[in-house]
Amino acid sequence: MPTPHRCDPKLFEKDLTGQVIICTGANSGIGLETTRQLTSQNATVILACRNEEKANVAMKDIGNADKTFYIHLDLSDLDSVRSFVDTFTSKYDRLDILINNAGVMMCPYAKTKQGFELQIGSNHLAHFLLFQLLTPILIKTAEETGKPSRFITVSSCAAAACNVPGMTSTDPEIDFDDLNWEKKKYDQSAAYAQSKLANYLTALEASHKYESSKLISASLHPGWVQSNLDQHVISNNFFGNMLRKLFLWSGKMINAVDGAQTTLFLHFE
């Protein structure tokens, strides 16, 4: 089995005391492992999750009760994003890092509360709004600490393969004329790729818009990670789990600890 690359262990010796970090989808997968590592280095991490019960289980699993805090966030509802920001800014006066990690992948057709196709709505639009609303405190924190804040987006290599039916360009692009798939047959894979392309473009634009002394923006592809993200691709049954084990053994799939390494690297470097 191939050995995945991991961060230099010296990066995990840094003391992050005082840092405040938001991670969406921190109750499972790479979000959970990212949170586990950052809190072990004394950072305070806000678990921005939809399910409070699952967030509480995750916080108990992590163990650093004085470093992990839950605030409700439902990415399928833009009102929830605004409520999250209101709650966060009422409790904290700094934000060092925003990690837009949560997502859904290749799910059946559905819409968000505001009527957007679920994948573009949850993966991109909600995260975009979250970033926009939190940018002032990210910049303020950078000015007060003298160190740039960070905006980290978990995208996917699927962005480069975005090929929406009916589009004529050979380059990846977003179909703004039918963002909600109301005029063409729904393609779960293309819809996911489109949302991940939007993630990448947002991070890229942020890196151009803000001075690197105030904000460092980056997107990443974590690899094919063993998590519940693939529940609509591989069945959660005996045969599906055997298939996952085969992919792990072959090195085509990696575990969540290895999957979190790129996110963690972008935090430190």
Give me the active site residues, please.
192
Best CA proximity match to 128, nearest among 49, 190, 50, 217: 217
Best CA proximity match to 183, nearest among 196, 167, 203: 167
Tokens for 205?
A: 């634009």
Amino acid 128 reads F
Q: How far is CA 222 from CA 33, 214, 235, 266, in A?
A: 12, 25, 21, 11
- In sequence order, which residues have a C-beta less than 8 Å from that of residue 107 and are 6 or more positions away? 118, 119, 188, 232
